[in-house]
């Protein structure tokens, strides 16, 4: 896709309007903004440099939080022998349909086939069994940044691919209480990360039995709402209880000298989160990135008039240096093969939060023009004090993008008291529907068959259930968040 210089309209027309076809709009934005592309390998995508830069910023922000809570990084093998994967029955059953197998190495058939990791509980549990002897060896707080493979029939860039990138935390603890505390702590970190860095508000809560991780005691999730009213599971945190410790024989001598199994957790977030960024914040002009995750927070576009290369350009470079010194990520677009109008549309489409225009007339007035991506507001701004003003604006944009997403979430969260009401809301673009539920998996499945909606999670401190289950009319056990989901 070589852009045609000088024709700013060409950029925008390459993107399907969001209101017309959300799904096509999404794919257009991801490809046109050069976040990712399809690859010659079926089901696998290429993450392009601009998309990977966003992932790196996400990684850094999460990694800081993991380390601040005592976790360390390590790396485990990509291949998992079949015998290990089979040790935890629910685990293997849950993942079997999606596992890719290696059966041959070089020109020899393998004696035991190897799974390409769909997740690493089996291989990590095997190692923990070797490393843990005493309560003094606990807790183990390890995270791994890696790729995983889960065979998919449908490909959607960032949202559903056979191979994707993620982090997986795996911890082992002395007591059930510590494991539960860790599981909730990491869910809290995901929530804070989503809200602070991604400017994405989320609903946190517990997954139902039918939606929990294969082999876990309990799964918690954060769920975000996309611009089309569909939910997206943004991260999960699992309390594994002693299930994997028993299967993999991870035992320790306790303080009272008895031999006990450890209590485990695992938790993960993936490159899906980039898809969420696109779908929560983007508009008809393309991507809109929250400043904290924008590879370029500011793009400087010099206006080429007169002897601009001798006058405007040195000034633009000085501004770039000044902003960079303040820790702001800046791109100076001094390409002379493109018109300013084309560059404006290009960087708007690629979601840069703030554009800084500078031309000879601005220099005469000792000012620049700042243009916000989120509000489209244009502000003549004095050169004097510019750095502080830009830093302040970036904070403001970050905050207001979150507030806007929060408002959308609130406006698209409704309560349903009856099944008729529930079905009516679920037509179209519903968002979250809060309703009372009996706790029966068969009833949950019936809701899905009728409306496509699933229970996203059960809120920790949601309203107490009133009266009867929205579907079957039996007494309600809990309040649930229902939505159609990615």
Q: Which residues bind Zn ion (CB under 5 A)?
A: 438, 443, 469, 471-472
Smallest gap from Cβ 135 to Zn ion, in A, equals 44
Q: What is the DSSP string of 82-109?
A: HHHHTTSHHHHHHHGGG-EEEEEETTEE
Smallest gap from Cβ 441 to Zn ion, in A, equals 10
Smallest gap from Cβ 470 to Zn ion, in A, equals 7
The residue (of 232 and 469) whose beta carbon lies closer to Zn ion is 469
Measure the CA–CA gap between 358 and 164, rounded to whole angstroms. 41
The residue (of 352 and 469) whose beta carbon lies closer to Zn ion is 469
Residue 185 in tokens: 């702590």
The residue (of 3 and 439) whose beta carbon lies closer to Zn ion is 439
- Count CB atoms within 10 A of the CB of residue 442: 10
Work out the angle between the directed axes of helices 308-325 and 386-411 (0-180°, nearest 10): 70
Is 12 exposed, middle or buried (CB count within 10 Å of its CB: 0-12, 13-18, 19+)?
middle
The residue (of 372 and 474) whose beta carbon lies closer to Zn ion is 474
Measure the CA–CA gap between 250 and 246, rounded to whole angstroms. 7
Omega prior to 294 cis, within 30 of 0 = no
The residue (of 356 and 469) whose beta carbon lies closer to Zn ion is 469
The residue (of 26 and 419) whose beta carbon lies closer to Zn ion is 419
Pairing mode of beta strands 350-351, 218-225: unpaired
Smallest gap from Cβ 443 to Zn ion, in A, equals 3
CA distances from 273 to 118, 159, 228, 398, 405 (A): 18, 8, 16, 17, 15
Smallest gap from Cβ 422 to Zn ion, in A, equals 11
Smallest gap from Cβ 209 to Zn ion, in A, equals 14
CA distances from 147 to 116, 162, 163, 340, 426 (A): 10, 10, 7, 40, 35
Q: What is the DSSP string of 143-199?
A: EEEEEEE---SS-BTTTB-SEEEEEEEEEEESSHHHHHHHHHHHHHHHHHHHHHTS-
Residue 133 in tokens: 């002897």
Smallest gap from Cβ 100 to Zn ion, in A, equals 38
Smallest gap from Cβ 438 to Zn ion, in A, equals 3
The residue (of 314 and 467) whose beta carbon lies closer to Zn ion is 467
Output the furthest CA–CA distance in the chain (Å, rounded).
84
């Amino acid at each position: 896709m070589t852009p045609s210089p000088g024709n700013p309209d060409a950029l925008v027309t390459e993107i399907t309007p969001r209101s017309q076809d959300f799904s096509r709009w999404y794919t257009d934005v991801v490809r046109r903004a050069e976040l990712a592309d399809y690859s010659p390998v079926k089901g696998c995508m290429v993450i392009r440099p601009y998309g990977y830069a966003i992932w790196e910023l996400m990684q850094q922000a999460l990694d800081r939080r993991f380390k601040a809570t005592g976790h360390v990084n390590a790396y485990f093998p990509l291949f998992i022998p079949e015998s290990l994967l089979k040790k935890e029955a629910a685990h293997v059953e849950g993942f079997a349909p999606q596992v890719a197998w290696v059966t041959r190495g070089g020109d020899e058939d393998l004696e035991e086939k190897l799974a390409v990791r769909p997740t690493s509980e089996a291989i990590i549990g095997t190692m923990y069994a070797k490393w843990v002897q005493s309560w003094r060896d606990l807790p183990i707080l390890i995270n791994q940044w890696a790729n995983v493979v889960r065979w998919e029939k449908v490909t959607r860039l960032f949202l559903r691919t056979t191979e994707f990138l993620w982090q997986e935390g795996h911890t082992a603890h002395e007591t059930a209480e510590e494991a539960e505390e860790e599981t909730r702590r990491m869910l809290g970190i995901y929530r804070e990360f989503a809200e602070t860095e991604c400017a994405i508000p989320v609903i946190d809560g517990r997954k139902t039995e039918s939606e929990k991780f294969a082999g876990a005691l309990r799964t918690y999730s954060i769920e975000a709402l996309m611009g089309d009213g569909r939910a997206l599971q943004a991260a999960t945190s699992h309390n594994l209880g002693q299930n994997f410790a028993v299967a993999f024989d991870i035992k320790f001598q306790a303080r009272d000298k008895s031999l006990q199994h450890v209590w485990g957790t695992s938790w993960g977030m993936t490159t899906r989160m980039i898809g969420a960024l696109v779908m929560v914040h983007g508009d008809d002009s393309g991507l809109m990135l929250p400043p904290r995750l924008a590879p370029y927070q500011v793009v400087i576009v010099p206006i080429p008039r007169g002897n601009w290369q001798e006058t405007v350009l040195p000034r633009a470079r000085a501004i770039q240096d000044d902003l960079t010194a303040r820790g702001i990520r800046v791109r100076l677009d001094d390409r002379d093969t493109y018109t300013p109008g084309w560059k404006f549309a290009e960087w708007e489409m690629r979601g840069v939060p703030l554009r800084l225009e500078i031309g000879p007339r601005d220099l005469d007035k000792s000012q620049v023009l700042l243009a916000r991506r989120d509000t489209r507001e244009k502000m003549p701004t004095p050169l004097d004090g510019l750095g502080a003003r830009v830093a302040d604006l970036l904070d403001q944009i970050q905050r207001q993008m979150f507030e806007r997403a929060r408002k959308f979430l609130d406006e698209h969260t409704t309560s349903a008291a009856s099944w008729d009401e529930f079905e009516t809301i679920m037509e179209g673009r519903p968002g979250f529907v809060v309703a009372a539920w009996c706790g029966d998996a068969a009833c949950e499945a019936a809701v899905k068959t009728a409306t496509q909606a699933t229970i996203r999670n059960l809120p920790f401190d949601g309203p107490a259930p009133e009266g009867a289950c929205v579907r079957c009319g039996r007494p309600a056990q809990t309040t649930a968040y229902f939505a159609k989901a990615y």
